[in-house]
Structure 1
Amino acid sequence: MPGNDAELYGRMPAAATWAFLASHPRCAICGRPSTEIDQHHGDGWVRGALCHRCNCEVGSLEAALRICRIHNSAQ
């Protein structure tokens, strides 16, 4: 599912990464300065720019949800 920018993170050259962060200066969740590009790890689509803290929290939440799905499908 493509994000608004319809860009694959793994294919973004460094200049495009910096340009994306410059055009999205604030974290989409908390409003702090953005430092990282959030992407869907399954398909690589860019979802937005986040600060480091929010990016870690999103990653932890996604991991926890995967564990729950695996646990529930095993029952």
Structure 2
Amino acid sequence: DEFPKCFIVGADNVGSRQMQTIRTSLRGMGVVLMGKNTMMRKAIRGHLEQNAQLEKLLPHIKGNVGFVFTK
């Protein structure tokens, strides 16, 4: 609930230094979450009872993607 807004971002051709810069610039305003797609799906399914609308994100987890959660 600290970061109620979420969007999915493509992470192809994004280097680790650039990703770290993005994470640093969002500190306090948002969070970047990257991980294996299967683990991200599992984490979302674990929170469906609290927020059923999260299910809408599942079909979009394909390829090299991540989540950005913001205020």
Same fold per superposition (TM over 0.5)? no
The alignment's TM-score, normalised by the length of structure 2, stands at 0.34
Higher strand proportion, which one?
2
The alignment's TM-score, normalised by the length of structure 1, stands at 0.33
Comparing both chains, which one has the higher relative contact order based on Cα–Cα distances under 8 Å and sequence gaps of 6 or more?
Answer: 2
